[in-house]
Structure formats: structure tokens, C-alpha cells
Structure 1
Amino acid sequence: MYCNCHSYYSLRFGTFSEVDLLKLAQENGIHTLALTDINNTSACLNFIRKAKDFNIKPVIGIDFRHGAQQHFVGIAKNNEGFKELNSFLSQHSEQKLKLPETAPLFKDSFVIYPFEKVLQLNKTTFLDSEFIGVSVEELRKLRFSKLKTYTDKLVVLQPVTVRSQKDFNAHRLLRAIDNNTLLSKLSTSEECKITDKMLSAEALKTAFEDFPHIIENTNRLLETCTVHFNFGTDRVSQNLKLYTHSAEEDYTLLESLCQQGLKKRYQNPDDKVFARLKTELDTIKSLDFVSFFLINHDIVSYAKSQGYFHVGRGSGANSIVAYIIGITDVDPIELDLYFERFINPFRASPPDFDIDFSWKDREDVTAYIFKRFEHTALLATYNTFKYRAVVRELGKVFGLPKEDIDKLSKGGIPEAKLDDVSKLVLRYGKLIEGFPNHLSVHSAGILILDAPVHCYSATDLPPKGFPTVQFDMIIAEDVGVFKFDILGQRGLAKIKEALEIIKENRPDLPPIDITNVEAFKKDKNINKLLKSGGAIGAYYVESPAMRGLMQKLQTQDYLGLVAASSIIRPGVSGSGMKEEFIKRHRYPEQRKNAHPILLEIMPETYGVMVYQEDVLKVANRFAGLSLGEADVLRRGMSGKFRSRAEFTAVEDKFLANCRAKGYKDALTFEVWNQIKSFAGYAFAKGHSASYAVESYQSLYLKCYFPIEFMTAVLNNGGGFYSVEHYLHEAKQQGATICLPCINTSDHPNRLVGTSIYLGFGYLKNVESYTVQRLLTDRQLNGEYKSLDDFIDRVTISIEQLTILIRIDAFRFTTHTKTELLWHATFKLNADGVKSSQSKLFKIQHKAFTIPKLNSNWVEDAYDEMELLSFPLCDYFKLASQELSGGVLAKNMKDFINKEILIYGSLVTTRYNKTAQGKLMRLSTFIDQNGDYFDAVHFTNVVDHYPINGLGIYACYGKITDRFDFYSMNIVWSKKLGILPDPREC
């Protein structure tokens, strides 16, 4: 009976969820109602899905508005009507067109014009599908209006936006935030009415008792409407069902691709390979996932045709079909990957293929997908109001001073010290926290559908330039819309650019086959980098945590790296299983601590759960759950379905089965808690293996072409560490780091022999136009011969030229920076006139006699720190005091459980929390020899000895040994000063 209900997906307007709306309707005896969010259909699918739980008939539509001003409400008669409403809204949203005040001719939708709008438009004629909506408050006006004669066109249009005064207050705050205005200055035209509430069915009938035909018209309209989707176990995949023209042709094509790829992947395939291939093909065919594989193969094939690298990961990496046809590069036979984790007859959703491309190539791959497939869109995600952010916004709305807002957002102020306004800010901050704030684009999800996208949602056109639906992954999967994950990462870009640099820098070398990962896995020199922690720059293995873990594990092979990639994850680490795995890996006698059943299930990991597959194995073989039930367990642990009744039922069955098998409760709950603590965080084994393949490609380049590789790392945004540290690593590998030079440097870094010329992009205040002019003229007319030649050829301001001189970009002239600065000042400021136009004729430069001016390397270092953010010399050279009495990192093993002093240059630092929630700090340093050491500021010292930015620290502490990995527990630390700038002395 309600045709105009809003959820909080009427962004910065509505005040409760679509589920709360259904609860409200149930409480008020309403059996039919329409969800019509403002210019948004985000909640529609979930509204339909949940309506049956409340025994309510759902109707959906859109409230078309310009800002807060309502034009008309569209109600979908059926699925076609929902599609046409979505298409209409999307056209205006994507093209940034203002919505019209009157509706177009909809074939399968009703249009309801608000009573006041009809009067404003002086509308007197109505189509069969058009109606006049009257709210309870407007009934008193209707009695005296000519519109009361339109008896067959009048329907109830009682808006539902708030439930209470508190909701109305929150609504006004949201409107003030949306309008960026003080609450006291918010126009009432931007608000809903306090009366925009839901009345009970009886109260609504009573209100309209003098106009019973309005109730009848409304019921008749709503009874006509039915929009249907299948959800949950009844859902049907909405993805593109056919890649070719028929299911038979699709399967024939997939078989053909497998036959072609089989010889490339397996030189001598055995019965195990053929049996696995047949089993997978049969399952893929029976579950109608053939097109899913063909589409992914199409995307990867396009990328390969363009010379783009990719990594196929996710649970799809467990598939031999995916491996054979080139979607992934992980051999599931070699790794004994669990087939049922990839796909099983109980699984209704397609397996996950996360396909990574270089961050530089991803956009082109996405554009190809949109051109290649007809019904395509990006998946959305919701950015919600975070508590601190909403407190800041509310502080502004109430007009609080900035200092007060800062204090409130930090929290921790006793309530007794808060004034009434501050209490309101915090109270409504908690209420609004978690509301959707705006729609954003999912980091990877692309939808490729069988039917037009607007059958499911309206679309927006965000800055990425591709249509984006208005719902997220969870509801998408519920209705049978499964995403394709197309991601961008920098690791692949580093590999690709390193190969390009090698080809340019060493043209005599034969081409490198970077896909020859099998050879890389067996290379002792590459594996030594893992074991020694020398993988700086290599994808996924360079962080201090991974470096330390691989040293503890003494990782020196592919399988070890695969395990390490999953062990490092929070769930495994936090549950204590990481520590247990290291013990059992390093010391075989410790393996007897494993429960015999678990050891039998997971012999490769010594009875310790490491991978997501282990959850399935243990649930199936330890607790006797079916594979389908085990997968429900795994997915439930991920957080996606944690609240579902089916997960609770499986949990109960797990415990009951264990008791029936005679396990003691202590063992049962130990295993259950292990599953619970890590299942949502651990990787699928195939996922870890996919990462490991890319890591080995990076490690090969780092091992044999370290300078070229580090140049590529720097040019692609680095990774875990700072630019400064990657330059240090390049120097450790034999590179010479050169400051930008106007005759040699480019915008990115450029390698010449073993010299890395820093790119102009590092110069913080140099304008892009200056660099563009400099490089363009150099390309067209050759190198610059002098400062005068540069001034003649490049239009530049004295401020921009000063930066280039101070960074020593004119050092080829052999003049000092000070001399060049004086010459530049005289030549460019001689007439005080600035011009952006190039000079038509060369001018005759005057010769100036400048006295010899001395400068030193410390001044240069300060110039570099100002202009680049770091000096080229290391901080040890800049230390203002003598470093005496310290121990080197390589000698830490000689001082276990003793307190020593080490001088270290800070590499990276971060806070961490203890199990009790207290702060501690983890830091990585390099000593005078460039060797690493890690230090921990535990909670008792973390506040007393802060880390204040890069520089040299005296670190005094106790040396600890964990599996032959040595680190320091800080007793005290102190940052040392650096030499002063002589120009300021």
C-alpha cells in the first residue's frame, strides 16, 4: 500500500536499511510495499530477496528527483519495467543530464506524480499508466482541489523516510552534510517532512476513509506489479551462458583448446593427467561453466596478443583445464592441488579466476572486455560513513571550531567533559556510522551478463569511464551474477619493464624466456636469495615479515615459498600455527606433536593447516562433512556468509560428527578453533602457488640482472620500501646513482650501463610542462651544449631553472652550481620580463665575471633532501657525531640474550598491536655495511623512544634468536643528529 519508501541507499537522505523497512512494514501490518530509492536501485535486489522472510510482496521502482525536489516516482510492473526504469536513470546519470520534470512513455512501468507537482505543472491529462499521488498530509488540500475529480487516477503516495524524531534529526544532519552547510542554514526544501512516516494499515485506511477509491486504486496498482529474481539455492547463473552459438559448440571448443595446450604443458602426460582432465571437463560441462572458462581464455589470449603479462590465481589455479589452456601457470598435478576447492558438484557459483595484469595494461584489457562482450559493467562497492569521518562532518554541520572537532574525532574524552552539542555529535555519529555514503567501483569485479545490465540495476559512469552497476558482490552472487576479477598490480609491470631495459641496455644478449619458471625453480642462485633474505624488489617476498619468515624456514625451493606465502597471512600467524609449522619444518622430531589423523590428512604441512584447502580436507576427513558442507564452512569463515543459518547448521554438524567419532572435546574444539581463526584469511594453495610463480620470475631478474631490475622497480612505484631504500639496494648491486641530468635523464629513471640516472619525476616542484619542453627539444635538436644554449631553446622561469641547477642537472658544463645560479639570475631577470613564448632569434648573451664561490658536499646533500626528499649519500656519512662502540648486524648471532649497541639507518617502521591491544613498534634498519637488522619496541618502551623519520639511530637492546633469525628487543634508542647546512651556520 506504500508506493514511495526510501532506504538509506537514498544516499544522504534515507535513515535505515531495506531490511529495516521490511521489519517496519511487518510491524505495521503492511503486506505490499514499493521500495523507491532516490535515483538509485542499490537495494532493490536484496529487498526482493529478503521480502519473503517477512511475508511481504515486494514492489520496486525509482524516486526520480533533482536534488531533493521530487519529479515523479516510477514503479516497475514487471522485470521489463525495472529494466526500462534503470535504462532511463542510467542515461541521465552517465551523460550528466538533468532529469526531466515529466516522465517519458514507459511501456512496463507506472508513473506517479506527487500532488504538488501536478499542481505546479498544471497537468490535466494523464496516460493510462500515469497517476496522481496524495500523501496523508495533502488530503486536506485535495478536498478543495479540482484534482479530486480524477477519481481513477488518485493513489496513496505517503513517503516513508523516517520512523521517529531521532531518524528525522539524522535525516536533517545527512542533508546538511550533503549540502555542505550548517544545520541552522539548511533549507526546509532540502528536507523530508517529519510526517514522512509509515502508518499502520488500519491508520492509513482511517486517514483515507473519505476517499476509499484512492486505497482501491493503490491496491490495484500494486497488485499488478511483479518483479521476480531467483535467489540462493534457486538462483540461475546470469552470466553469459554461451561463448559461441550453442552449448555443444562451446564444449567442443574447450576440448579442442585442451588438446592443443596439453602437449605444451605436459611432454609425457600420464594416466593421472588424463584422468584429472576428464574429471574436470565432465564437471565443468555438467555445471554449465564452459563459457566461464572460454571467456577467461579469451581475455588472457587478447592480453598475450598485446604482449601483456598476466597471472591467473584464485581457486581457479587448482584447475588442470585452466593450466592447460593458459589461464593459469600453476600445475595442479605437481602441487597436488585440491580439486574440490576449485569446483565440485555441490558448488553453484563458478570458481574464482583472479587475473592480474600490469597496472599499465589493465585499463586496455578492461576496454577490450567492454568492446568484446555486449552486456558488461563494473561491479560497485559501497563507501560507508566511518565513525571518525562522520564525527568530523557532524562537527562542521553544528559549527564547532576545528580544535573541538579534532578532539572529538580522536575520542577518549570523558562524557562529563562534553557539552550538549558534542554529545549530540557523538550520539548521531554512532547512529550514522555504517550508512552508505557513496557508491564506488569494486577493485576488480567486471560483470559479463547474458541479458542487458539494466535488467538488474541502473548504472553510473565513474571516473574510470566504464558503466558501473549500483550493487555489490554479495547481492550479485545471490542473484546469480558472478564477477570476473581483472586486477592491476605493479609486480608484472616491473618484470615487463625490466625485460625492456635489459634488451635496450644489453642488446647482444639473446631474448629471455621469462616463462621458463621450471628452470628458475631449480636455480640454486635464485633460491639462495630466498634463504638469505635478499629478495628486495621481488614481488610478494620482499617485506621484512616475509624476509624474516623465509630465513626462519630456510626457504630454498618453490614449494617452501608456496607455503610461506600462506603462512604469513594473519589467520595462520595469529592462531599460532605459523610458529608450529616452522618448528615442525626445521626440526623433524617436532612432527610427533601432530595428531596422527591430522598428520595423515596433511603430511606435506606436517599436520598443520596452512591453506584454505586444508579446511575442506579436515572438515571432510576429520569431521565427516560432505565436500559441499565443507565448502559452506570455508565460505562462512571468509565473512561473506557468516550470518547465514546454513553455516550455523554446518558448525553444529561438525561438532556432532566429531563427538560421534569419539574425539575428545578438547581435540574437537582445538581443531575447530584453528579452522575458525584462520580460514577466512589463509590463501588457497593454488593462489599461493600463483604468487610464487611471479615471485620466481622477479627473483630470476633480481639474481642475474639486478641493476636493470631495480631500475624497473623504481619506475613502477617501488613496493614495500621507499625510493631511497631501493636506490640503496641498487647501489648494493653495483649501480651508480646519478642525479638528474638535462642531457641524459628522462621523466622516469634511465639506465646507462650500470649508472641509474634519476628521473625528472622525482623533482618535487618541477612542473610537468617544463620537463615536457626540455625532453621534446632535446629529442628534436640534440643535447644541450651550455646553460646559454638551454635558455635559448627552452622557455623556462627562473624558479624552474633554479631547481634544475640546484640539483646539478647542468654539471656537464663543469661550472659550479653557485656560478650557474648567478648566471641564470642575470640572464633571465635582466629585463624583468617573463614570456611563455620561445625566442624567434637567438640573443647575444652577455658575459658576466663572477668571483669563485666555494661549496661542499653537505650543501649538495641538503639541496637533494629539499628537492628529491632524500640525499644520494647515506645518512651514516651525514651523522654529526662519531659512531663508536657499535656491533655490526652480521655479528648479532654472537650476542644472543645479551644487550648490545647497533647503529642503524631506518628502512621502514610500523606499529603493531599485541594480543592485549597495546601498541608495539616493528622497525627494520641497515647498518654501516648495508646489512639488515630488525628491532622491536615493546609496549614498555614504545612511548619512551619514538622513531622520528629516516636517519641514523643508536639502537641498544637484547638480541633474540628465533629459528636462527636474529633481532633486537629495544631497551633504548636515540636518533642521531646530522651535520648542519653550512649555508645556515
Structure 2
Amino acid sequence: ELELIQQKGFVSYFLINYDIVTFAQQRNFYHVGRGSGANSIVAYCLGITDVDPIELDLYFERFINLYRENPPDFDIDFSWTDRDEVTNYIFQKYNRGKVEHVALLGSYSTFQYNSVFRELGKVFGLPKSDIESLIHFANKEGYEPDQFGKLIIKYSQVLHDMPSHLTIHACGILISHKPIHYYTATDMPPKGFPLAHIDMHIAEDIGLHKFDILSQRGLGHIKSAIETIYQNQGVKVDIREVDKFKKDPKIKEMLRTGHTIGAFYVESPAMRMLLSKMKADEYLELVAASSIIRPGVARSGMMREYILRHVDEERRKMAHPVLADIMPETYGIMVYQEDVIKVAHYFAGLSLGEADVLRRGMSGKSRSKDEFQRIREKFFSNCKEMGREDKVAAEVWYQIESFAGYSFAKGHSASFAVESYQSMYLKAYFPLEFMVGVVNNFGGFYHTEFYIHELRMNGADIQAPHINESDYLTRITGKTVYLGLIHMKFLEKATVEKILAERRENGAFLGLADFVARVAISLEQLLILIRMTCFRFTGKTKQELLWEAHFILNKKKAIPATNELFRTGGLAFGNRQPEIPVLEAVDIRQEILDQIDILEFPLDSPFHLVKDQSIQGIKARDLESHLGKMVMILGYLVTVKYTRTVKGEVMNFGTLLDRDGNWIDTVHFPPVVKKYPFKGRAIYRIEGKVTEEFGFFSIEVNLLERMAYWNAAD
């Protein structure tokens, strides 16, 4: 590796990446080095990646080979909260005084069908309605455009795929030996860093190295969780003990059963289903799963075939002997991008350089269609010369074609698997602190509501925002979790900052009047706090507090805060106290509606809102005992996956929760989707047949009905 790195002139590229991750480690920033760079033992030794390429038998040639002209890529992920500081470090370190050597990589947005019609329509002064009509009808048979329409259609064909405007590449940073202006002009976008006027293809052609500095929230989850564990339990966690995590029985059990909510990359319904079906509990199985779940493998039917061969040794004998020999670890099925290279080289006799051109062409990275077509023809001619059956050669090509553009490099999958193990360790041994970390980073597959649900299912005492206990973000003490004030969508940030500053300065609030005396707040903002029961420590009901708030503020915009010589506990408005009549207690259903209005999700069970409480249905945990039978069950919608069948018809996969908070997985075939579509977030009555595949239970839905909710006016 070292010889090839030196021969290709990539020493500085490795050393700069090493410098970047070293800076991050000094700042206690977590990172993941992924992509094909994880195939390098040098990168592993330098700490750029956490993936051992010898353990996984990764091919360094996938990262750098003598035939590869373009420079290699390291994709380095940081937490979304740390990325800007890392970027700033790169600009500070590698710019020399006032001479700029660093710039953000540019990218060109090109004119596509709709945009070119709209821009040309504006040139000809056409109204919006005429432009949209032209877009809609231009390709329709028998449509006859007017004189302007004919010109727009004519010039649209000329402008199609031409550059429209310059944008910023998602993550690329250029570092040049000579000042950057030797190569390109720059400008200064609002981001605050110079932007190059060239894209990645031109940068490659002129020999500039691109450094990919990305961000993701999964690392934010880990970082926040570790900090929270230390604050709540005084325990310091070493998250780099990945070898230990791989063997941990608790983590193995969670993977086998799909209990992975909150864990990076393995928490989606599809991934939970795949892990459950595979009974995956080994590192290599998780690495394979993270690539199998990609659209290409699933679309070609190879995901199902992989599961079948994984659970049934007899099924593995169906693999083509050459493919089984090339890819024994994955039972003769192409799972990773490297498999394209291996199959093209060993099965079809292409050189490694030609095989890499094939891989890049399949993934849309090749700019030479003629070269790709030449290699495609050589693939089939070589197969014929080598005595491969035409049918088998065509089937192998179909597999390559259907998944190569969507597959991961094996090193990339392994990098994701390492982060998944780190998340799973925290979830297994510190579930409450970990889920608080997930909630506070506002990222993941699910809505915040369902991470709070997971907290509750793990024994947390979930408390609504509290004026004396809540911080800006969610916090945990022992097993008590106080939701952060940030979750109240109508509460202004300035109001939150005033509340927290006053509390830090002068201590807890004694009551509503004391609060209003100390914090300048409008009636509208105060009512939000009351409706969310933020003043429940006073012992007064919500209605009493609402009455008192109107009495104190009396439609004034805000009462300026006053500094009292003595704490009167709320007699700052004189001895006049409101006379509050006896009021009815708030219905739990009204509480839930207030929660949904202010938090956008309920803290109490949404099943209280169902108008007809006599409809119960079975429980999710009882599905196994009803296998093959028709059942009725109530489910609170979590998420819906929309996909298309081979015929192009829409079908759904639903994920819901039952009354006990357990997960329900449903399958909705096209006729059912047409007749009984989902109608937004709600509780649904589901009728269907319980099915099982590889030990994973779901319901094939025959009927889906949105349940009527209680209304205070009823």
C-alpha cells in the first residue's frame, strides 16, 4: 500500500486527512471514515477509519489501483454540531496568510425539462399558466404549440443539461499546493468560506484533491449520549471498544430480534425486518445487511435470495459455481460494489481497470458512454469465449445492472456497521441516556414522538415541560426525563432564553404571579406554558391558571419584569387576588389535544382519543398465536413506506403501535391501497391475515379504517 500511495503521489492526501481526524480527536469530536477509503490498512493504522480491512478481506485496489486515474476519496463524517468547526480548522490551517489555498468545491445545477421550459417561458414573457400548460402538454401526442411554444421546445433541446447556476457541493473542500486562484475564480457565499467555480470532474482532471467533510446526526446521538451518561451516572464510556461490542450477548440479542430503534442505520422498519429474518447477530452479517437493504439488491430479487441462502444451506447449492467461488461469504450473490469488479474480472475476464470502469459507469460516475458501451460489449464477448451460457451471462449482467448504482462498497458498509455497534452498545447498557441523546439531536428515521415512546418503554418517567425543571433541551435525572422547552413549537426562543436566564440568576419560580413579575411575557406566550402544564408545581388546575393569567395580564402585550426587594411570591400586583369560580377538571382527552397542538405529539396514550372505546382488537404480542388467521387490531400510525410493484402499481408497508406500545408491521397490496389508503397520522382499525416469513410476523391488510376521534363539542 505504501509503495502504491507514494507511486501515485497520494502521500499528502493521506497526511492531510490524518491531520483533520487528529484535530477532531483532540477536540473530542467523533468521526467515521467511510467509503472505499476503509479498504486501506494505512488509513486504519492512521485512525482515519475504524474498519480493519484484513479482518474483512477488503480489496485495496477498490480504493487505489494503477489503472485508476482519478484521486481516491475519503468520506469523513462528523457530528452535525462539530462539522463547521472542522471546516474552519481546514481553512485556517491550510491557507497561508492572506493567500488562499482552500475553497469549497462548486457544483453546477443544469437545466432539466421543467426548469428550461420555465426559464425560456419567462424570456418570451409568457404568463405562468401558459408555461405550466406547455410543460404538461409538450410531450403529448397530437399537441400543436403556438409560435412561442415551438421556439421554447426548439431551444429547450439545445439548453437541456447545460449549466444553469453554481451551487455548493454537499461536502467537498479543495486544497491546492499553489494558491487556489491559479486554477479557478472564487466567490463568497453566505456560508462564509470561498467557493470555487469548478466542479468535482474538473478538479479531478486538473489534479486537485477533494476532501469530503460530511455531517450526520448518528454521531451526535453518540456524543450526546456519552455526555449524558457521565452527567447522570458518573460513568465514562469508551466507545472505541468495538471488538468487545461485536461479541456482546446483549447486543446480539437486540440485533436478532430487531430491537434497534434509535441505533444508527439499523432502526428503520425495513432494516429491523431484515435483521429479524436473517437472525443476524454477527459483524459480517450486519455488514452484509447494510448493503443488502439498498434499493438495487432488493429490486433485483437478490435480497430475498440472500436471506433464503443465509438460512438454508441446501439453497446455497443453487448458486452458479463460478459465482459461489468468487463470493463464498455472500453465497454467490453480489452484495457490494467490489463484487461487480470481482465478477467482471473472474466471471467475464475483464481486466481490473476495465472492471472498475464498469463499476463507475453503473453508478453514474463515468463520463464516457462510449467507453462504457465498449466494456459492456467486451463483457458479453468474453463470456462467449469463456464458454458461459448466454442465459447465465445475461442474468449476471442483469444483477450488475440492477444494483451496482445503489450498492455500497464493502468498506463503506463496514464503517456504518461499526457506528451501528457503538449505538447498539449505548442502547443496550444505557437506554435512557442514549434515547435522550437521540431526542436532543433531532435526527433519525422516526419522529421525536417515537423516541420518547421508546424512553417510556424502557422505564423512563416522561415529564412534560416544566417551568422550574426543564432546560432548553431534554434532560434526565435518574429515570425522570423532563422534555426541553424547545419542543413547544409556538414558544419563542427569546421567551425560553429569558425564562432560563431569570431562573439561573434568581432561582426557581414560586408561582404564576411570581413568574409574570420576573419575566416580561405576552399573554399569548404565557397561555402556551399553562396549556402545557408547565406550572403544575403550583397545585392549581389548568383552568384556574388560565383564569389567573387573564386576570394578571388583562390583554396587555407584556408586563415588564420588576426587581423585587423581597420575594413576595406573586403579590407584585398588590393585594388584589383573583376570585376563581369552581371549575370542572380537565378531561384527559383535552390534555392530549393540547399536547398534540403544542408539541405536535401526545404524551399520554393517543388511544384515549378513539371515540368508540368498545372496539379493542387483539394485541401485537398475540400475532404469533393467530398465524394464518384473520384478525382485527387497532394501530397508531408511525410511518408508511410507499413502493411500486413490477407492474408499477403502488403498494405500502405500514408500521404502527398497538395500545401496549408494541410494534405492528403491515403489508398493503395495490388493490387495498386503492380502496383503503392511509389518511395521515391517526389510529386505524386494521383487518387482515397474519403471515410469517423467516420468523417475522406481519399482517396482510384487507381493510383499513381511520378511527373517529372524540371531539369536545360532542
Shift of 1:896: 4.2
Q: Deviations over 1:531-572 (max 9, x none)?
A: 111100000000111111111111111111000001111111
Q: Is the 8 A contact 1:391 1:429 kept in 2?
A: no
Shift of 1:350: 2.9
What residue identity is the alignment partner of 1:889? A
Q: Is the 8 A contact 2:71 2:204 kept in 1?
A: no
Q: Aligned ranges for residues 301-450 of structure 1 at < 5 Å?
A: 301-374=22-95, 375-385=101-111, 387-388=113-114, 427=153, 431=157, 434-450=161-177
Cα gap change, 1:417 to 1:634, in 2 (>3 Å):
closer
Q: Aligned ranges for residues 598-637 of structure 1 at < 5 Å?
A: 598-637=323-362
Cα gap change, 1:430 to 1:397, in 2 (>3 Å):
closer
- What is the aligned counterpart of 1:754 among 465, 479, 484? 479
Once residues 111 and 42 of structure 2 are traced to their aligned partners in structure 1, the CA distance between those partners, rounded to angstroms, is 43
Shift of 1:441: 1.1
1:471 partnered with 2:198: yes
Unaligned segments of structure 2, at least 5 residues: 96-100, 566-571
What is the match of residue 647 of structure 2? 916
Cα gap change, 1:385 to 1:652, in 2 (>3 Å):
closer
Structure 2 SS opposite 1:746 = coil
- What is the aligned counterpart of 2:693 among 948, 952, 962? 962
Once residues 589 and 421 of structure 2 are traced to their aligned partners in structure 1, the CA distance between those partners, rounded to angstroms, is 41
What residue identity is the alignment partner of 1:873? D
Once residues 499 and 827 of structure 1 are traced to their aligned partners in structure 2, the CA distance between those partners, rounded to angstroms, is 44
What residue identity is the alignment partner of 2:709? I
Which has the greater radius of gyration?
A: 1
What is the match of residue 299 of structure 1? 20
Cα gap change, 1:940 to 1:402, in 2 (>3 Å):
farther
Shift of 1:407: 7.5
What is the match of residue 4 of structure 2? 283
Q: Is the 8 A contact 1:494 1:712 kept in 2?
A: yes
Structure 2 SS opposite 1:292 = helix
1:942 partnered with 2:667: no
What is the match of residue 846 of structure 1? 576
What is the match of residue 569 of structure 2? none
- TM-score, length-normalised on structure 1? 0.68
Structure 1 SS opposite 2:636 = strand
Structure 1 SS opposite 2:686 = strand
Once residues 393 and 850 of structure 1 are traced to their aligned partners in structure 2, the CA distance between those partners, rounded to angstroms, is 64
- What is the aligned counterpart of 1:879 among 610, 624, 627? 610
Shift of 1:959: 3.0
Cα gap change, 1:919 to 1:516, in 2 (>3 Å):
same
Once residues 579 and 621 of structure 1 are traced to their aligned partners in structure 2, the CA distance between those partners, rounded to angstroms, is 25
Q: Is the 8 A contact 2:117 2:153 kept in 1?
A: no
Q: Is the 8 A contact 2:166 2:197 kept in 1?
A: yes
Q: Deviations over 1:96-154 (max 9, x none)?
A: xxxxxxxxxxxxxxxxxxxxxxxxxxxxxxxxxxxxxxxxxxxxxxxxxxxxxxxxxxx
Structure 1 SS opposite 2:671 = coil
Structure 2 SS opposite 1:953 = strand
Structure 1 SS opposite 2:55 = helix
What is the match of residue 501 of structure 1? 228
Once residues 862 and 624 of structure 1 are traced to their aligned partners in structure 2, the CA distance between those partners, rounded to angstroms, is 66
Structure 1 SS opposite 2:688 = strand
Q: Deviations over 1:585-625 (max 9, x none)?
A: 01000011011111111111111111111111112222222
Unaligned segments of structure 1, at least 5 residues: 1-279
Cα gap change, 1:399 to 1:810, in 2 (>3 Å):
farther
Once residues 619 and 588 of structure 1 are traced to their aligned partners in structure 2, the CA distance between those partners, rounded to angstroms, is 26
Shift of 1:412: 11
Shift of 1:882: 3.0
Q: Is the 8 A contact 2:532 2:594 kept in 1?
A: yes
Once residues 834 and 888 of structure 1 are traced to their aligned partners in structure 2, the CA distance between those partners, rounded to angstroms, is 50
Q: Is the 8 A contact 2:220 2:441 kept in 1?
A: yes
Q: Is the 8 A contact 1:862 1:871 kept in 2?
A: yes
- What is the aligned counterpart of 2:509 among 784, 787, 793? 784
Cα gap change, 1:433 to 1:648, in 2 (>3 Å):
closer
Structure 2 SS opposite 1:334 = coil
Q: Is the 8 A contact 2:517 2:561 kept in 1?
A: no
Structure 2 SS opposite 1:284 = helix
Shift of 1:478: 2.4
Shift of 1:646: 2.7
Q: Aligned ranges for residues 735-774 of structure 1 at < 5 Å?
A: 735-774=460-499
1:862 partnered with 2:588: no
Cα gap change, 1:625 to 1:424, in 2 (>3 Å):
closer
Q: Aligned ranges for residues 881-900 of structure 1 at < 5 Å?
A: 881-882=612-613, 884=615, 886-900=617-631
Q: Is the 8 A contact 1:505 1:753 kept in 2?
A: yes
What is the match of residue 487 of structure 1? 214
Once residues 7 and 316 of structure 2 are traced to their aligned partners in structure 1, the CA distance between those partners, rounded to angstroms, is 42
1:651 partnered with 2:376: yes
Once residues 388 and 820 of structure 1 are traced to their aligned partners in structure 2, the CA distance between those partners, rounded to angstroms, is 55
Q: Deviations over 1:151-182 (max 9, x none)?
A: xxxxxxxxxxxxxxxxxxxxxxxxxxxxxxxx
> Which sits farther off after the overlay, 296-305 or 422-431?
422-431
Q: Deviations over 1:444-497 (max 9, x none)?
A: 111111122222221122222111112222222223223111100000000000
Q: Is the 8 A contact 1:788 1:845 kept in 2?
A: no
Cα gap change, 1:655 to 1:419, in 2 (>3 Å):
closer
Q: Aligned ranges for residues 242-261 of structure 1 at < 5 Å?
A: none
How many residue pairs match? The answer is 701
What is the match of residue 453 of structure 1? 180
Once residues 926 and 829 of structure 1 are traced to their aligned partners in structure 2, the CA distance between those partners, rounded to angstroms, is 44
What residue identity is the alignment partner of 1:573? A
What residue identity is the alignment partner of 1:376? V
Q: Is the 8 A contact 1:572 1:578 kept in 2?
A: yes
Structure 1 SS opposite 2:701 = strand
1:674 partnered with 2:395: no
Q: Aligned ranges for residues 14-53 of structure 1 at < 5 Å?
A: none
Cα gap change, 1:860 to 1:382, in 2 (>3 Å):
same
Q: Is the 8 A contact 1:552 1:963 kept in 2?
A: yes
Once residues 433 and 345 of structure 1 are traced to their aligned partners in structure 2, the CA distance between those partners, rounded to angstroms, is 36
Q: Aligned ranges for residues 163-312 of structure 1 at < 5 Å?
A: 280-312=1-33
Structure 1 SS opposite 2:290 = helix
What is the match of residue 459 of structure 2? 734
Q: Deviations over 1:866-922 (max 9, x none)?
A: 111111112222211135462332333344444322211101013212222222222
Shift of 1:942: 1.3
Kindly report the root-mean-square deviation, in angstroms, between the aligned alpha carbons of the 2 structures.
Answer: 2.5
Once residues 300 and 724 of structure 1 are traced to their aligned partners in structure 2, the CA distance between those partners, rounded to angstroms, is 34
Q: Is the 8 A contact 1:395 1:425 kept in 2?
A: no
Q: Deviations over 1:494-538 (max 9, x none)?
A: 00000111111112x3x2111101111001111111111110000
Cα gap change, 1:778 to 1:637, in 2 (>3 Å):
same
Q: Is the 8 A contact 1:388 1:410 kept in 2?
A: no
Once residues 438 and 839 of structure 1 are traced to their aligned partners in structure 2, the CA distance between those partners, rounded to angstroms, is 56
What residue identity is the alignment partner of 2:653? L
Q: Is the 8 A contact 2:271 2:293 kept in 1?
A: yes
Once residues 945 and 404 of structure 1 are traced to their aligned partners in structure 2, the CA distance between those partners, rounded to angstroms, is 36
Shift of 1:715: 0.7
Cα gap change, 1:388 to 1:894, in 2 (>3 Å):
farther
Q: Is the 8 A contact 1:349 1:482 kept in 2?
A: no
